[in-house]
A and B are shown apart, each in its own frame.
Chain A
Amino acid sequence: MNARILPLYATIVIFLIAYLICYIQFPAMLSTRVVGNLLTDNAYLGIVAVGMTVVILSGGIDLSVGSVIAFSGVFVAVMLRDTDLHPLIVFALLLGITTGFGAAMGALIHGLAMPAFIVTLAGMFLARGAAYMLTIDSVPIDHAFYDVLDAYYRMPGGGRLTLIGVVMLVTVFAGMIIAHRTRFGTSVFALGGGEHTARLMGVSVGLTTVKIYAFSGFMAGLSGIVFSVYTGSGYPLATVGTELTAIATVVIGGTILTGGSGYVFGTLIGVLTMGLIQTYIVFDGSLSSWWTKIVIGLLLLLFILLQKGLLTLGQRQRSSPT
């Protein structure tokens, strides 16, 4: 068995145990209602985390996504308020902008040989600033098409499978295909394994880097659209710190922060684990919501230790003759 799949198993086991604990205390948590809400409430996070997974797999980081989500919401709300464009056209415009924004960051990272951390930090301020330039208020979205987007399918048991929840699942599936079944995906893993070696193997490092951050930008834009559907408004102060939450879900999902090893599916489980903790706190009623942060902090620590352990194990395996 490949060692790199262990963190994924660990993630799944932790999720199942967590769910079991929740279920024992609150049997209602196994209802389609809770499951439906889990998907809906975390749809935007799941989508942006797919982009983040690809970035982290390549050994990079994208700190701009939280701001890009906020910008996207504001952009959509303002365009729908001030123009007669159909939302679908606005969406297409927006995705073009965020994808281009990501591509530009990727080009800078490669072209200037700058750390992704710095470039995307600049991107974070830029996108947030751009959102403020459009408006400083919360702009409600009031468009007939948004009622269509609010559609849901009522599952047996009364739970709602919303359109945005489904979009998130489809995105995860698409992310799995892209990361694990395409040549681009292999190049991403190759970059994460070592840029120098990847170059010697014939990876076009520049182009791949641009594509990776463009992908993340696209996902942040899509996440922004979903977020605007979820909240029915655009607000420049929204989703502050979401980039860090996304990074946390990726790591809890079993992807190694230094790149080169991980699974997009694990990220979905990471997102659901995080959602589950929040749901538990809501059910309990007496716990402060800060507990979410504490538990997430502990989980992160656990996974970092697990990764370190696997790393040393792998090295020991290698040094003994096979």
Chain B
Amino acid sequence: MLLTVRDLTKTFPGTLALDNVRLDLAAGEVHALLGENGAGKSTLIKCLTGVHARDSGHIELDGQPISPTSTHDAQELGIGTVYQEVNLLPNLTVAENLTFGRQPTRLGLVSGRRMRADAEEMLAGYGLDQVNVSRELGSYSVAVQQIVAIARAVALSGKVLILDEPTASLDARETETLFKVVRDLRERGLGIIFISHFLDQVFSLSDRLTVLRNGRHIVTEKTPETNRVELIHHMLGHELVAAEHRHAARKGGANLLSFKGVGRRGKIEPFDLDVRAGEVIGLAGLLGSGRTETADVLFGRTPADQGEATDDAGKLNLSTPRTAIAEGFGYAPEDRKTDGIVADLSVRENIALAFQARRGWANPIPQAEQKRLAEDYIRKLDIRTSSAEKAVGDLSGGNQQKVVLARWLAMNPRFLILDEPTRGIDVGAHAEILKLIGELTDQGMSILLISSEFDELIAASDRIIVVRDRHHVSQLVGEEIDTDRIINAIAARDDAERAMS
């Protein structure tokens, strides 16, 4: 084996990010690393390359134990890495970025001419002929920057090349170029670790693969000996009980909203969506597949750059969250800590904020009225707090989530987007929130529910749309809704796709 990792453990304050993980990488192999967001893939890479110090474990390169303490060490050992986050410096030139740390010098001075020549040589074969290496990297698109980062890592990788979601910002042609380079390097005997959410890419490129889940090694297999459905089972893990679709004969009402060809380049491919009054639309897919991106586009957080949204009255303006709210949209985002609530304000103040926004700031709500409203929602949603004056940040996760919901309900939206509303809350609160979703839709509100819990989606949704690789690939209605069909849709190859109707 070229690289062996044994019993690697890494904790962050409050998180066990890696738990006795093992990994083997052979020379001349592309080894895919799979797992949902937060599974620990990037952390594994960072422990391997000296960005993070491991708590315990053993790493060998060519049979020698190694313990790099910095990326510089790792580079010296012949391990080149493209990390998931920003890899290069936009304020340096392309050439400086490419040659950084090994700039050609004469008498201690960097030779600009030779540096540019080296850089051009490193970029050759990536189809970036239009790039001027003397320009600042920051003046080029993210895709170009990404390829430059890859070119740099390739040049640094004498033995091992690690690519952490390198294709996230590349288009099909750029991805193909990258794969060609990777295959060439494999021919030359490098070991390559390849992380991607795109299963198509994993199957077309990798020889073996390893799945991580919650920081644990789940399985290592030869790629041809496995299949998508199995992989997704490994990645998601939870025993997939066939949850019953509640599917009370809830009839969709009149058509409320319709989205035609709405999308945003690099985030989510254009999709059509009709929303009927009083229905729950579930959005299923792996993390990073385009679920949250869909919500962001609908709510104007990252406004659509194509398509249009209409209702009975005509075109809707969804260019910013503020205009979306004015159109009667609501959005309780996934990360309620940063986006949903003001943790330092009290429950009363958080709820009043929403009312205040609706009434306009010139018309303050009297203290007594605020108190009454807050008490009202605390009772309706059963928010467990010792008083309305308690800071929201001090409540439990489930109760924080209810405050977020209260804020949006106070605005009385007609279309409410809930991104992972039950993430991190206890089972009891979980059930209450699902019940609440049912009640709200009975009153005519339409809800878009994003969730990683299939059971939850199945139980709550009238329709489920499956998102994969930034496409809305499939729709399941009524009786069709069950776990197997969802999994198959997530795993399906393009040719097996059901056309969206």
Residues of A within 8 A of B (CB): 2-4, 177, 181-183, 185-186, 189-190, 192-194, 196-204, 260-261, 314, 317-318, 321-322
Residues from 34 to 71 in B contacting A, C-beta threshold 8 Å: 51, 70-71
Q: How far is the CB of A185 from chain B (nearest CB, A)?
A: 8
Q: Is the CB of B108 within 8 A of A182?
A: yes
| Contact A183 to B71, CB < 8 A, known contacts A2-B139, A201-B89, A318-B139 | no
Q: Is the CB of A193 within 8 A of B109?
A: no
B500 interface residue (CB < 8 Å to A): no
Residues of B within 8 A of A (CB): 51, 70-72, 75, 81, 83, 85-93, 96-97, 100-101, 103, 105, 108-110, 112, 134-136, 138-142, 144
| Contact A261 to B91, CB < 8 A, known contacts A182-B108, A200-B51, A204-B72 | yes
Q: Is the CB of A3 within 8 A of B108?
A: no
Q: How far apart are the CA atoms of A185 and B109 in the complex, in Å?
A: 10
Give the residues in chain B near A203, CB-CB below 8 Å.
72, 100-101
Q: Is the CB of B139 within 8 A of A202?
A: no
Q: How far apart are the CA atoms of A195 and B436 in the complex, in Å?
A: 46
Give the residues in chain B near A198, CB-CB below 8 Å.
89
| Contact A202 to B101, CB < 8 A, known contacts A182-B109, A197-B87 | yes
Contact of B71 among A182, A199, A261, A314 (CB under 8 A): A199
Consensus secondary structure, chain A interface: helix
Q: How far is the CB of B80 from chain A (nearest CB, A)?
A: 10
Q: How far is the CB of A313 from chain B (nearest CB, A)?
A: 10
Contact of A322 among B90, B93, B97, B139 (CB under 8 A): B139
Q: How far is the CB of B111 from chain A (nearest CB, A)?
A: 9
Closest-by-CB residue of B relative to A199 is B71
Closest-by-CB residue of B relative to A190 is B89
Closest-by-CB residue of B relative to A318 is B138
Give the residues in chain A near B89, CB-CB below 8 Å.
189-190, 193-194, 197-198, 201, 260
Q: How far apart are the CA atoms of A197 and B53 in the complex, in Å?
A: 17
**10 interchain residue pairs of minimum CB distance:** A193-B89, A202-B72, A260-B91, A193-B91, A322-B141, A181-B109, A202-B71, A202-B101, A2-B136, A322-B140
Give the residues in chain B near A183, CB-CB below 8 Å.
101, 103, 105, 110
Closest-by-CB residue of B relative to A186 is B96
Give the residues in chain B near A322, CB-CB below 8 Å.
139-141, 144
Q: How far apart are the CA atoms of A177 and B138 in the complex, in Å?
A: 24
Q: Is the CB of B71 within 8 A of A3?
A: no
Q: How far apart are the CA atoms of A194 and B91 in the complex, in Å?
A: 9
Q: Is the CB of B88 within 8 A of A197?
A: yes
| Contact A314 to B138, CB < 8 A, known contacts A182-B110, A202-B71 | yes
Q: How far apart are the CA atoms of A102 and B183 in the complex, in Å?
A: 50
Give the residues in chain B near A186, CB-CB below 8 Å.
92, 96, 100, 103, 110
Q: How far apart are the CA atoms of A125 and B113 in the complex, in Å?
A: 46
Q: Is the CB of A194 within 8 A of B87?
A: no
Q: Is the CB of A190 within 8 A of B92?
A: yes
Q: Is the CB of A194 within 8 A of B105?
A: no
Q: How far is the CB of A292 from chain B (nearest CB, A)?
A: 32
Give the residues in chain B near A190, CB-CB below 8 Å.
89, 92, 100
Give the residues in chain B near A260, CB-CB below 8 Å.
89, 91
Give the residues in chain A near B86, CB-CB below 8 Å.
194, 197
Give the residues in chain A near B141, CB-CB below 8 Å.
318, 321-322
Give the residues in chain A near B100, CB-CB below 8 Å.
186, 190, 201-203
Give the residues in chain B near A3, CB-CB below 8 Å.
136, 139
Q: How far apart are the CA atoms of A193 and B93 in the complex, in Å?
A: 12
Give the residues in chain A near B142, CB-CB below 8 Å.
318
